[in-house]
Amino acid sequence: MKRFALALLLALPAVAQTTRIASDFELAQMQKQLESSRSFEAQLSGRLNLGDVRTARNELSLARIEYQKALELSEKERRAARLDSHLTRYAVATSYAALARAKLHRPAEAMQLLEEALRYASDDPETWNLYASAMRILGKSQKAVSAARNAVAVVDPAKKLDLAIYQHALATSLLEAGDEREAETLLVTVTESLRSKEFERLQRDAAEQEAFEIYSSARGDVAAYVSLLNRAQLRLASLYESRNDLAKARKQYERVLAGRSDDVMALTALARLAPNDAERERLYADAFAANPFSLPLIREYRRYVREHPRTTGGTAMQRALQQLEHGEMRAARETLDALLATFPQNETLRKLRIEAESVTTIALPSATPTATELRVLLDAFERLTPEQRVTLDETGFTSEVQFDGEPGSTFESGTIEMIPFRFAQPAQFNGTFETRARLTYRILGVTRAGDRDALLVEPLRLEPNR
């Protein structure tokens, strides 16, 4: 029970989730573990882990189901322990019932249960630790700091791993409360301690067992050690990065990757800090392969694509994000629909899909349309009213275009203000033209040019560029 409880301390609030996200394989492993074990501890840790993983994948409905199951388990255990007059069990189950309620955003109930547990177990650092964890989830940073301090105060200092876990929890709470100085001291202490000879046996065991999984509710010393080292290094790295101490930050992120090469947070951070775009894109690709649904990664990558509009390729999720950022909503919808077919419960995908539908009212472009006007039309062409279609058919537009290919008299495709277009068939013009010219045209519809949406255009007149 002890190590189980310790590991639960590592759980982070959903809003501040910075942990790696388990792969589908890991989710399957967790489900398998649940099915093969019947004990309260195994069932509870399994549910909480699954809930946290689902939360990190932004599968919030599924996460709630797991947390609800964790709550039911702990309430059942609580009642049974009370009837059995087993007050230690009762206190433990009460703490976990509180944690589950915190994860379900029921703050008053959570706090009442936490206080109830303390009446029986104020001498137990894990009870304080769970208190701190629940308060962090509820956004009560000062209460979390206070509870975490009590955990550190009452833990037996000879229990080095326990001490490190509670110091890490205190550091986490302090960071959320804005006290970076003490947090840094604690994180340095924790990471150096975990990497020291004091933990030689666990380091050896972790290597022998090839343990790399990062749990929010780890069971056993090896799992707790591996998870704690990962989290503590990530937090320290993030702290250094926020202070612009990039060399130290990079070193810590690299240490995280040394323990687990597909840690999405470390990969994302190293991509952000990469010395060149090639390295950055490689790291982003690795990060998306590790977890395509990580919100921090997605935010980061979209910013990168905005700053580098010619970015292409990568995983399906990367392509969807590129399409969204390029305003290619139709293509984005197709890509996202394909992903949703595989991950129908994923709320990140659902949100992105809604974003891809975001154009609601359509206005016809002006006579010399802007890129935005053409983009809106491209994305929502099918929403034009019949009257708008008639008007569009009758309207001529003029734009500067960039044809694909070489100068000459025959052209088939190109871009207007970066928006791809093509003719129904190659068009031959009278005269010889540069690839950059002034085109008067009608818009017939939407087609594809390579892997991108494009306007289907009927040329009316071509003139040299002015």
Partner 1 sequence: MKRILLLLAIALTARAEKIVTLDALNDTAEIFDTKTKTATRIATKATPVASAFVGNELYILARDARVLQHIGGANIAVAQDPAFLGQSEGKLYVYSRSLGMLEEIAHDRVTRRASIPRFASDLEIAGTSAYLVYPREGRIRIVDLKTMGVRGEVTVGAVPVDLAVAGGGTALTARILAVADPSAKRVWLTEETQSTAKAVARGFLRGFLGLGLFGNRSSQFPTGVDRVWIRGKRWFAYDTSSGTLYSFTRKKSSVLARNVTLNDFYFTDEGVTLRSGTSVAQTTSDE
> Which residues lie near partner 1 (CB under 8 A)?
78-79, 82-83, 85-87, 90, 107-108, 111-112, 115-116, 119-120, 122-123, 128, 140, 142-143, 145-147, 149-150, 153-154
Q: Which is nearer to partner 1, 78 or 326 (CB)?
A: 78
Q: How far is the CB of 130 from partner 1 (least distance, A)?
A: 15
| List of residues 6+ apart from 244 with CB closer than 8 A | none
CA atoms within 13 A on the CB side of 414: 25
Q: List alpha helices for 138-276, DSSP H.
A: 141-154, 160-177, 180-195, 200-208, 221-242, 246-259, 264-272
Residue 77, CA distances (Å) to 11, 52, 393 in order: 21, 21, 71
**Least distance CB 132 / partner 1 (angstroms):** 11
Rounded distance between C-alpha atoms, residue 357 and residue 351, angstroms: 10
Cα separation of the two ends of the chain: 79
Distances from the Cα of 368 to the Cαs of 3, 251, 387, 399, 400, in angstroms?
69, 53, 21, 6, 9
Give me 267's structure tokens. 């990969």
By C-beta, is 2 or 461 nearer to partner 1?
2
Cβ at position 46, least distance to partner 1 in Å:
25
Q: In whole angstroms, how close is the CB of 121 to partner 1 at the nearest point?
A: 8
- For partner 1, the closer CB: 84 or 434: 84
CB of 83 to partner 1, least distance (A): 6
CA distance 434 to 436: 5
CB 170 to partner 1: min, Å: 13
Query: What does DSSP assign to residue 22?
Result: -
Q: For residue 340, which amino acid is it?
A: L
Identity of the residue, 103 or 140, whose beta carbon is nearer to partner 1 in the bound complex: 140
- Closer residue to partner 1 in complex, CB, 77/453: 77
Looking at the Cβ atoms of 174 and 305, the one nearer to partner 1 is 174
